[in-house]
Structure formats: structure tokens, C-alpha cells
Amino acid sequence: MRTGTDIDRNIADVSALIREAAKGGAQFVATPETTALMELGAKRLFANIVVQEEDRALTAFQSLASELGIHLLIGSLAIKVASDKAANRSFLLSPEGEITARYDKIHMFDVDLGNGEAYRESKNYRAGETSVLADLPGLGRKLGMTVCYDLRFPHLYRQLAQGGAGYLTVPSAFTKPTGEAHWHVLLRARAIETGCFVFAPAQGGTHDNGRETFGHSLIIDPWGDILAEAGTDPCVILAEIDPAKIEDARGRIPSLTHDRAIIASDAPTDV
């Protein structure tokens, strides 16, 4: 996607892409982080967001999931949780349009890239505290929900995989410089480390507010192979998912069962 500052236009744009994906045979569809609104300024952000029960984008996507009969992951919406705080919240919707799971982004993107580009997500957003595993009927294993900057915290993904996840979602709005340097290698590493499929829908291009995101949405299998990749322009990518690949990868390298307690020491061990 290339989400802008007009919520209704964004809803229309992503709805058209979701319909295209469903027409192409997709039974599970995922959208990027900040699906309905890309806004950094606090004043403009809080003038446009509402509590979950009043969010018209969420209502529209619930109706669309029900109409198309698909599992729909809305990568994230900015949901007002206090007068000066939002949650960066991801939603999993059932083919009946019901909210079956929701996840609030845990790790806040508070960084200075050293090129004049700096972000303080924690200024406007309240961090989540709970990891989320959701059911995906018919796929044998659960879905682990994460968002963007969470990608840099591998212990979260290991916990999800050891808790039963075979699929991981990483809806994102990566910056161009961090995406060029780290996007592919981090996502492939999370897939390899966990033996999970990784679905990473991404924002791409120059947005209304001047922000530039990396794009390159990816679908990655449990061996770390890229099954589908987008560029920077809005589009749909599709892949066939074979759940047997999860057990195959984990059977070959069962690292999820090989954890060892590590004793920290400041002194060298005896030789």
C-alpha cells in the first residue's frame, strides 16, 4: 500500500486490493501497518482517530471480510485509547466478519537514523504488553501477530513459535534506509529461526505526509525461501501455502527444542 492522510480514500484503495486478492483465490489476506491512516503529527493524528467501537475503517473491513468469506488481517489501525495516546493495533477478522484476535504493537519505534530522519512512536502511542496467538482454522497451527519494529526482537518470535505458531504476520511501514539495509535479512532470519511462514505486507513509496517507506512486501516459507515479493507500488502478491513445510523445516533443524540455560559470567571459564 501507499496509505495517505485521507481515511476514506485509503479504505477505498485497500478494499480494491483486498477484492483483487480474493478474486485471485486468496483465503487469507493481510494488509500493512497503518492501513487506514499515515499520520505522524500528534494534532492531526488525534483529530482523525477514534475508539475501536467507532472506527469506520474497521467496520468497513469487517463487512468486506464477511462479503468475501476470507480471513483478513488488517495490519494495524491507530485506535484511540486515551486523550493523548493511541494503540497501534492489528486485527484478525474471520470469514464472518468477526474480530477473532487483536494485537497492540509492543515495541515502539523510537529511533534516530542519523540522516535527519527520527521517530518517537512512544510520544503518541501506548505500547502493548501481551503477545498474541490466534487460530487459523484449517492450517493446523496458530498465527503469531506482530507489527513492524517488533521484527528486531527475535525472542518474541521464538516465544510465539514455541507457543504453537506456524505462521507469523509482520505488517510494516519500514523506512527506506532501514528497509534497504535490513528488511529481507531480518524477515528471512525470523522464518528460519522459527520454522514458520512469514507474511510481511508493507507500505511503499512517498506518502502524502512526505514520509518514504521501503515497500517490498514478502511471503517467506519456513526454510527462508521467498515465495513472493512486491516492489514499491501498491499491488497484490499471492502464494500457495503448504503447511507440511513447517514440520519439514523443523524436522531437519529442530532448534526450537534445543534451548539451553545460559549462565552469565564476567570472568573467563577455566581451561
What's the first-to-final CA gap in the chain, in angstroms?
56
* Residue 169 in domain: yes
Given the residues 33, 39, 142, 176, the one annotated as active site: 33
Given the residues 39, 80, 121, 148, the one annotated as active site: 148
- In 94-222, where do the E strands start and end? 99-104, 110-112, 118-120, 132-134, 142-145, 165-169, 197-200, 204-206, 212-214, 218-220
- Cell numbers describing residue 235: 499491488
Among 39-43, 55-59, 116-120, the range with the most confident prediction by mean pLDDT is: 55-59
How high does pLDDT run on average in the chain? Answer: 96
3-state class of 72 per DSSP? strand
Given the residues 80, 105, 176, 245, the one annotated as active site: 105
117 among known catalytic residues: no
Residue 116 has pLDDT above 90, yes or no: no
Give the pLDDT of residue 182: 98
Q: What is the DSSP letter of 106?
A: -
The whole model's pTM is what?
0.96
pLDDT band at 115 (very low <50, low <70, confident <90, very high): confident
Residue 34 has pLDDT above 80, yes or no: yes
Paired sense of beta strands 142-145 and 165-169, if any: parallel
Please count the residues of the chain.
Answer: 271
Residue 83 has pLDDT above 70, yes or no: yes
* Residue 131 in domain: yes
Tell me, what amino acid is at 248?
D
As a whole number of angstroms, the distance between CA 264 and CA 121 comes to 33
Paired sense of beta strands 197-200 and 204-206, if any: unpaired
* Residue 110 in domain: yes
Give the pLDDT of residue 266: 77
105 among known catalytic residues: yes
Q: Is 106 left (phi over 0), alpha (psi -120 to 50) or beta?
A: alpha
Q: Are 190 and 169 in contact (CB under 8 A)?
A: no
33 among known catalytic residues: yes
* Residue 251 in domain: yes
CATH code for position 150: 3.60.110.10
Q: Quick one: which H or E segment has residue 93?
A: strand 85-93
* Residue 262 in domain: no
* Residue 109 in domain: yes
* Residue 163 in domain: yes
Q: Quick one: which H or E segment has residue 228?
A: strand 226-229
Across residues 47-60, what is the average pLDDT? 98
Across residues 102-124, what is the average pLDDT? 95
Residue 129 has pLDDT above 80, yes or no: yes
pLDDT in tens, 238-256: 999 999 999 999 999 999 9
**Dihedral sign of CA atoms 88, 12, 135, 22 in order:** negative
As a whole number of angstroms, the distance between CA 206 and CA 136 comes to 34
Least confident of 82-96, 132-146, 168-182, 185-199: 132-146
* Residue 264 in domain: no
Total structural domains in the chain? 1
Range of the domain at 77: 7-256
pLDDT in tens, 133-185: 999 888 889 999 999 999 999 999 999 999 999 999 999 999 999 999 999 99
Give the pLDDT of residue 268: 64
